Amino acid sequence: MRPRTKRERLVAELSSKLPEITEAQIRWGKKHCFPHNAYRCKDEMWCSECGKMWVDVTGQKEGYIKCPYCGERLEMKVSRKAKDNAVSYLTVVTTSGDFQVLRHFYTARYARKERDTHYFIDEVCQQWITSDNKEIVIAKAMNMGCRGWIHTTDMSLKQSGNIYYPHSYDIDGYVYPKVKVLPILRRNGLRTSFHGVTPAVLMRALLGENKYAEMLIKTRQYGMLEFYMRRGGLSHPWAVNICNRNGYIIKDGSMYDDYLRLLDYFHLDTHNAHYVCPKNLKKEHDKLVEKKRKIEAKIRAEQKRKERIERMFRMKQDILSFIKRIQPFLGMEIKDKGIVIRPLESVTQFYLEGKAMHHCVYQNEYYRRKDCLILTAQKNGKRLETIEVNLKTFKIIQSRAACNKTSDYHDKIIELVNRNMGLIRRSAS
């Protein structure tokens, strides 16, 4: 995109005058942007920094070791991998004119066993931020995947975001420790550390985009700052003010926010320093969690007790209703060539039928259905099929053997029930 406004033309000119990445910055990036590992396979080890391999007979599998070739301190890992490729970002924070500049360098390491390790470093994005919180982005082209940089293209002006990724150029890289910031950012509390927050996000917050960022960073509530920037809000801002007045530093923002919500749950005063500034946050947090767990366990037990009583009452009503409906069919039998068909005469029989035949005649409460008659077909005491007859149409709805299949006697059972449908009709009338 061509520069069109006066500000964009100024940024394009200043960008062309920025120096190349220095050797000191490259060395720092290689040391801090990648893990440094020694991979062990049996007695053989190789270094991800130089690729050299050596024999180690000590048998040590954990901890750290020094590479005998490059002298790098390495973390030991047991693995058969023969290569260790990694990608990261190095961010250089500087100023140019009246702009705060974030320079993002794509850094890649290609390490392979018994080969020299190679590095690739390429500047892919620059964020130019003004003191009035306006931003101009100069970057290389990206493919459809976010951060899929096309390294062969030249850097040019870009839109700062789109509807899918409104802050797609906010890169959370490893920040080079020599940081230069605008006077207004220094006045608002920013020094050299970003306290776990993406640099561009924190800068925009300190320039007025977020309400509490400046207060949190100036009062050194860095744990709460990181939580606030990730959550996007404070549930109890007055509690942080109480902490500041009492010199209480919040180290774990997410746990502290959970603790305050627990105080609300127990209706404890979140305006009282006694509760808001605990001496041991984890201990007090865990104590309230356990207390809440016991209360909720009692509530669940009471709910289950009530549900059990309601279920028993409903079961009694169902049994009484079923006994009334089954009265006309008690003692009815249909017999032919050893096959005996009779109705299920109690809820217990429904349970036994469903358990033996592995189907849902009991679980789906067929005994509650007013317009159906459930029959069981047996031969020599062995259950063959379960039959459902509709008492309005006097038609067979279904006849199921074990596991909802059909038995060898299926057609005979259907024919036998249909032949005796008049008996069922007379019993029902």
Tell me: do 280 and 350 sit in the same domain.
Answer: no
Q: What is the C-alpha separation between 61 and 101, in angstroms, rounded? A: 44
155 and 241, same structural domain?
no
Q: Are residues 35 and 148 both part of a single domain?
A: yes
**Residues 359 and 307 occupy one common structural domain:** no
User: Is residue 302 included in any domain, yes or no?
Assistant: yes
Q: Answer whether 418's CB lies under 8 Å from 375's CB.
A: no
pLDDT of 334 > 50? The answer is yes
In the prediction, which pLDDT does 90 show? 97
Query: What gap in Å lies between CA 284 and CA 309, rounded to an integer?
Result: 38
Residues 174 and 46 in one domain: yes
Residues 125-154 have a mean pLDDT of 87
Rounded CA-CA distance 92/98 in Å is 17
- Percent of the chain, pLDDT > 70? 97
Distances (CA, A) of 76 to 38, 82, 112, 174, 341: 5, 15, 16, 23, 74
Residue 341 has pLDDT above 90, yes or no: yes
pLDDT band of residue 161 (cuts 50, 70, 90) is: low
**Span 307-314, mean pLDDT?**
93
- 249 in the same domain as 391: no
Label residue 144 by pLDDT band (50, 70, 90). Answer: low
Confidence check: pLDDT of 146 > 60 = no
**CA neighbor of 21 nearest in space, from 105, 129, 127, 137:** 105
Same domain, 175 and 267: no
Would you say residue 162 has pLDDT above 70?
A: no
* 234 neighbors 225 (Cβ within 8 angstroms): no
Which residue, 369, 365, 421, 414, is CA-closest to 393? 421
| Cα angle 77-81-83, degrees, rounded to a multiple of 5 | 110
Please, which pLDDT band fits residue 309 given cuts at 50, 70 and 90? very high
Q: Is residue 351 part of a domain?
A: yes
Total of domains in the chain: 3
Q: Which residues of 80-101 are buried (b: 16+ CB within 10 A; e: fewer)?
A: eeeebeeebbbbbbbebeebbb
Do 262 and 352 fall into the same domain? no
Regarding whether 169 and 249 lie in a shared domain, the answer is: no
Question: Do 381 and 248 share a structural domain?
Answer: no
- Token pair 């190349």 is found at 20
pLDDT score of 147: 60
Q: Is residue 200 part of a domain?
A: no
> Tens of pLDDT along 257-289?
999 999 999 999 999 999 999 999 999 999 999
What is the model's pLDDT at position 163?
A: 46
* CB neighbourhood size of 194 (10 A): 23
For the entire predicted model, the pTM comes to 0.74
Asked, for residue 359, whether it belongs to a domain, the answer is: yes
With both helix axes pointing from N to C terminus, report the angle between 410-419 and 421-428 in degrees, rounded to the nearest 10. Answer: 50
Find tokens 């009062």 and name the residue: 219
The candidate with the shortest Cα–Cα distance to 358, out of 405, 412, 319, is: 405
Q: Note whether residue 255 is domain-resident.
A: yes
Domain presence at residue 404:
yes
pLDDT exceeds 90 at position 145: no
**What residue has token string 């104590």?**
287
- Identify the CATH number of the domain in which residue 340 sits: 3.40.630.30
Residue 362 lies in a domain: yes
Q: Contact at 8 Å (CB) between 213 and 229? A: yes
User: Tens digits of per-residue pLDDT, 357-393?
Assistant: 999 999 999 999 988 999 999 999 899 999 999 999 9
Q: Which residues of 392-427 are buried (b: 16+ CB within 10 A; e: fewer)?
A: eeeebeebbbeeeeebebbebbbebbeebeeebeeb
For residue 394, tell me if it sits in a domain: yes
Q: Has residue 340 got a pLDDT over 60? A: yes
What value does the mean pLDDT of the chain take?
92
Q: Are residues 316 and 370 in the same domain?
A: no
**Are the C-beta atoms of 363 and 357 separated by less than 8 Å?**
no
CB 200 within 8 A of CB 127: yes
**Residues 143 and 93 reside in one and the same domain:** yes
Structural domain including 243 reads 235-329
Last residue of a domain, one of 277, 294, 329: 329
Q: What is the pLDDT of residues 195-239, one digit of tens each?
A: 999 999 999 999 987 889 999 999 999 999 999 998 888 899 999
